[in-house]
C-alpha cells in the first residue's frame, strides 16, 4: 500500500467529513466505496484484529443492524461475521482509514485524525 486509503460510502456524512479533513490537511488519499468494491475476507479479518474485534468493526447501533433478525445478531465465528458483512456491507463502521503502514482505524473525529497525523 503506497497511500492512505479511506473506505466507506460516498453518501455517508462521516466519510465526507473525513475526506474533507484529509484534503484540507494536504493528505493524499484514495477513497474506496466498499459497497461497490466488496472487501476480501482477509482484509476484514485484519481490520477486525487491529480495531479490537468484530464488535468494534461492525456498527451495532446502525439501522441496518437493528433491522436484522435477532438470530443473525449473534455471530459466533469469524465465518459468521464475514457472511454477515458480505450480505450487509453497510454494517462496517465508517469510515475505515488505512495508512500506508497498514494501520487501521474506524470512525472519524478531528481529534482522532489530528492525533493520528499530527
Q: What is the mean pLDDT of residues 91-95?
A: 96
CA distance 31 to 77: 29
Backbone conformation region of residue 52, classed left if phi is above 0, alpha if psi is from -120 to 50, else beta: left
3-class SS of residue 108 = coil
Query: Tens of pLDDT along 17-51?
Result: 999 999 999 999 999 999 999 899 999 999 999 99
Confidence of residue 2 (pLDDT cuts 50, 70, 90): low
DSSP state for residue 112 in the 8-state scheme: H
What are the tens digits of pLDDT across the range 48-72?
999 999 999 999 999 999 999 999 9
pLDDT at residue number 118 = 84
Question: How far is the C-alpha of 101 from the C-alpha of 110, rounded, in Å?
Answer: 21
Residues noted as catalytic: 12
Structural domain span for residue 96:
4-117
How many domains does the chain divide into?
Answer: 1
Q: At 47, which CATH number?
A: 3.40.30.10
HSE-up of residue 3 (Cα within 13 Å, Cβ side): 11
Amino acid at each position: 500500500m503506497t497511500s492512505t486509503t479511506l473506505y466507506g460510502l460516498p453518501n455517508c456524512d462521516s466519510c465526507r467529513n473525513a475526506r474533507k479533513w484529509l484534503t484540507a490537511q494536504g493528505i493524499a488519499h484514495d477513497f474506496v466505496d466498499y459497497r461497490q468494491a466488496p472487501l476480501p475476507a482477509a482484509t476484514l479479518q485484519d481490520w477486525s484484529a487491529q480495531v479490537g474485534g468484530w464488535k468494534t468493526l461492525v456498527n451495532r447501533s446502525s439501522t441496518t443492524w437493528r433491522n436484522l433478525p435477532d438470530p443473525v445478531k449473534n455471530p459466533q465465528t469469524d465465518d459468521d461475521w464475514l457472511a454477515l458483512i458480505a450480505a450487509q456491507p453497510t454494517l462496517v463502521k465508517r469510515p475505515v482509514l488505512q495508512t500506508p503502514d497498514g494501520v487501521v482505524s474506524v470512525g472519524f473525529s478531528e481529534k482522532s485524525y489530528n492525533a493520528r497525523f499530527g
